[in-house]
Amino acid sequence: MTNLKEYRIYEGLRIALSLTFIGGFLDAYSFKMLGGRFASMQSGNLIYFSLNLIEGNYQKAILYVFPVLSFFCGSMTCIFVKRYTQQRNLRWHITASIVELSGFVILTFLSIRLNHELLIVMIAFLAAIQAESFKRLRGMSYGTIMSTGNVKNLGIFLTTGLLDNDSKTLEKARNSFLAILFFVFGAITAAYSTDYLFEYALIIVCLPLVLILILLILEHFEQKKSFEI
């Protein structure tokens, strides 16, 4: 089994599953509530943009561009903020989690007042921050907002692990499967919760973000205490 000391808490399984849950939730939420668009799966937006463009639905096609551009801007902003925090010896993952949590808390209470174009743009921006901030699960790369890479990893690690009888590789396959499972769980949760909470269902995203922030802060204080000793 993987030694817990071989990776930081932001690469831990609990945080990874919380993030993939959020990823599945956001895309199902935005697709169902915000006009069939995706907050984080920009490949889907580009496909729908292309299809509508070919069919001559130019006004509808342009709506799929907004979340793509916002995600792009979120990724760029993430780099500037990351460098700013590193120059001041701040914890990047804690900072990113605070920004994402604060953003979704604000969006939850404003969701009923914001038009759908503005809401999906802001969600896409926050999704980009999550995608850039958390990219590794116990040493291996994975996706928090899409599952294509996780499905690929599952196939590779499962086949390799079985052929080589390698328990560590099989553990990576298990983690990849769990990431996919929680992504699906997040999407199902969004599908059901929006039937009752409508736009306010976005508050559900804040729950795993609170857990993530608590875990990161606890690790920070544990490390600070060990240095003092």
Per-residue pLDDT of the chain (229 residues; tens, 9 = 90+): 444 456 788 999 999 999 999 999 999 999 999 999 999 999 999 999 999 999 999 999 999 999 999 999 999 999 999 999 989 888 899 999 999 999 999 999 999 999 999 999 999 999 999 999 999 998 899 999 989 999 999 999 999 999 999 999 999 999 999 999 999 999 999 999 999 999 999 999 999 999 999 999 998 777 766 655 5
For the chain, how many structural domains are there in total? 1
Q: Which domain holds residue 122?
A: 12-228
Residue 6 counted as domain residue = no
Q: Residue 116's domain is classified under what CATH number?
A: 1.20.1250
Residue 3 counted as domain residue = no
Residue 26 counted as domain residue = yes
Which residue intervals of 2-64 are DSSP H helices? 13-33, 42-54, 58-63
Nearest of 120, 133, 110 to residue 44 by alpha carbon:
120
Residue 136 counted as domain residue = yes
How many alpha carbons fall within 13 Å on the CB side of residue 194?
21
Residue 2 counted as domain residue = no
Residue 77 counted as domain residue = yes
Record the pTM: 0.93
